Amino acid sequence: MTKQSHNTVRQSMQERIETGEWALGGLIPGEIELAEEYGCARTTINRALQALADAGMLVRKRKGGTRVCNMPVRQAKFSIPVVREQVEAMGSQYRHRVLVNTKTTPPTSIATRLNISDSDKALYIETVHLADDRPFAFESRWINLKAVPNIVDAPFKDISVNEWLIRSVPFSNGDVIFSAINADEKIADCIEAESGTAVFVVDRTTWYKEEYITTLKLYYKPGFQLYTRF
């Protein structure tokens, strides 16, 4: 073979795994050997192998060599949903309405999550996200004022709370919990559903460098689906 890109090599190796030429859990040749076989530099082989390891297909160990993963679990990458983009992706017009925006002391469960004391005040905001002026999702959010004190001056008419935060604290970390609940009356009312309807819930908490920023729950309208590919 002549001139191989790391991509071509990777695909070739992926096929060797898929066809079983390289058995599940089995050891595969070392980098130098593969470099000779493919007729390219070891660096190129290394890059291809690392990509496959990153995808969860290979497990690599110094001295131990490279093995095909014996319990192949595919991983999927997905973007943390931004409601406005979800709405616009459907071809609908996005708008939002702020129902509540107050500074108040949060319940203990929230205070714990934001790592603030029970007596500290936090910003509580309720928002309804609309798609073509029909309810799409209801958002209930608490914000740690110590983390982003200047948020109180921000007007949320044109820009949503979420997008303000994204711009203000651009690359935070966080966790996400997906679940399903039966809508209580309040939620049902906000998303124009009947009480008791199954609702898809996204519970998200974000932080930046040991400091908690915000925690929110998103209740999507009935029938909502979250799609991913792997």
Partner DNA sequence: TAGTGGTCTAGACCACTCA
Partner DNA sequence: GAGTGGTCTAGACCACTAT
**Binding residues for DNA (CB under 7 A):** 3-8, 30-32, 39-44, 46-47, 49-50, 53, 60-66
Amino acid 139 reads E
From 182, 184, 192, 195, residue interacting with a copy of itself (rule: CB under 8 A):
182
From 121, 134, 167, 186, residue interacting with a copy of itself (rule: CB under 8 A):
167
Listed in sequence order, the residues at least 6 apart from 147 whose beta carbon sits closer than 8 Å to its beta carbon are: 169, 208, 211, 212, 213, 214
Distance between CA atoms of residues 169 and 181, nearest Å: 30
CB of 29 to DNA, least distance (A): 7
As given in the structure block, the two tokens for residue 138 are: 């209801």
Give the residue with the Cβ less far from a copy of itself, 110 or 159: 159
Give the residue with the Cβ less far from DNA, 61 or 209: 61
CA proximity to 92, closest of 101, 100, 105, 83: 83
Distance between CA atoms of residues 168 and 162, nearest Å: 10
Q: Residue 17 touches which of DNA, a copy of itself, none (CB < 5 to 8 A by kind)?
A: a copy of itself
As given in the structure block, the two tokens for residue 22 are: 């390289």
Question: Among positive and negative, which fits the CA dihedral 21, 22, 26, 31?
Answer: positive
CB of 124 to a copy of itself, least distance (A): 23
DSSP assigned state of 8: H
From 36, 39, 103, 178, residue interacting with a copy of itself (rule: CB under 8 A):
178
Give the residue with the Cβ less far from a copy of itself, 18 or 36: 18
As given in the structure block, the two tokens for residue 32 are: 């130098």
Q: Is 210 in the site for a copy of itself (CB under 8 A)?
A: no
Contacting residues toward a copy of itself, per CB under 8 A: 14, 17-18, 24, 56-57, 71-80, 82, 85, 166-167, 170-182, 196-201, 208, 223-230
